[in-house]
Amino acid sequence: MLRIAIMAYEVSADRLGEGLLLELRQRLGAVEFEGVVGARLQDAGCRSLLPPEELALMGLFEVLRHLPRLLRARRQLARHFLASRPDLFIGIDAPDFNLALERQLRAAGIPTVHYVSPSFWAWRQGRVRILTQACDLVLSIFPFELEFLQKHGVNARYVGHPLAQQIPLQIDRAGARARLGLTEDDEVLALLPGSRGAEIKRLTGPFIQAVRLLLRQRPGLRLILPLAGASQGQQVRAQLAALADPPPIQLLDDSHLAMAAADLLLTASGTATIEGLMHKRPMVVAYRMNGLSFALVRRLLRVPWVAMANLLAQAELAPEFIQERCQPQALADALLALLEDPERRQQIAQRYAEIHAELRLDSARLAADAVLELLRSRGHAL
């Protein structure tokens, strides 16, 4: 039986890998999957060797604090995969962890695929050579990446963004609101402070303070907040419970449902900005990280914005408030400006719809085609 290892321990990676795993299972029949994955890939039949929360960290200095544990986990996984060799290893995103593991496994003769190109084009451009050492194949999800990767000798395929196929071009806002007990006339703001513990810790407070300021101007505003998982839910609930007078926030467990129901998003930078774009929802983007981590990133950054939604639009359609600019009053003012300008929101939604259509390929099929081609080149009769 063919055996495939998958590393998709972050919430976004777990979602991105679901289509590929299901496509491979359908086309290969008898196949065994294992690795470190989230709830979606576990439900799709992949056995997780470790709890995914053990590896999901953000920022250079946050990682450094947990480095011994992360290195032990990576050594443990490497020993496992070298002793019980898979026919293929797929690392989804998380390049700082996955690429080192991929390089070790590839050196031992195990074919490796990295799904979601690291953003070396945005910063640390010299590190692109790592991909040629670690990966037999890179699956790229953004069209502008392909030329950069191929110029540096990386075997890359552009497969489109998996979420662009999963999220419909026409969003059923009325249906989403009905499921949440919201009316068509409600003004709805979705709060998305991230999926990692450090993100939630740093952003939930400013988001709540911004909402309190906003409610003074829009007292009828309805607030919804999707929880990324059980541990993240506990963290958010604990922060809300610690407040003397928390604003009325409806908690749910589905970020796509929240985006579909919302008029506007206040979101952490990251995959959520892509999801917001595909839901055609105007957004305000914020981010905070360890100060030393940010100082390093700022020195190396080679792009004008951090939100992928803005990079794809080539314009700051989503106002960005990063690090010291992430202040409650600034967030509230930006949200209020969008709420009071329906024409601007419509223009943004139209541009997002155009980008969504451009990214909407049959990503699962294209990615599976590339993966199976690699397996055939290694002698597997499929």
pLDDT of 294 strictly over 70: no
| Interatomic CA distance for residues 319 and 326, integer angstroms | 11
Q: pLDDT tens-digit profile of 239-251? A: 888 887 889 999 9
Q: Where are the domains of the chain?
A: 2-160+361-377, 173-359
**Tokens for 354?**
């155009």
State pTM to two decimals: 0.81
Tell me how far CA of residue 151 lies from CA of 129, 177, 277, in angstroms.
11, 47, 29
Q: Where are the alpha helices (DSSP H) in 242-327?
A: 255-261, 271-278, 291-300, 308-313
CATH entry, 173-359, from 3.40.50.2300, 3.30.565.10, 3.40.50.2000, 3.40.190.10: 3.40.50.2000
Q: For residues 32-42, give the mean pLDDT.
A: 96
152 DSSP assignment: T
Does the structure show a pLDDT above 50 at 60?
Answer: no
Strands (E), 38-187: 46-48, 88-92, 112-115, 137-140, 156-158
CATH code of the region 2-160+361-377: 3.40.50.2000
Chain mean pLDDT for the chain: 90
pLDDT score at 128: 87
Q: Residue 252 in 3-state DSSP?
A: strand
pLDDT tens-digit readout, 129-159: 899 999 999 999 998 899 989 999 999 999 9
pLDDT band (50, 70, 90) for residue 360:
very high
320 pLDDT above the threshold of 60? yes
Note the pLDDT of residue 61.
43
- As a whole number of Å, the CA-based R_g of the chain is 21
Mean pLDDT for the stretch of residues 166-171: 95
Domains 2-160+361-377 and 173-359 share a fold: yes
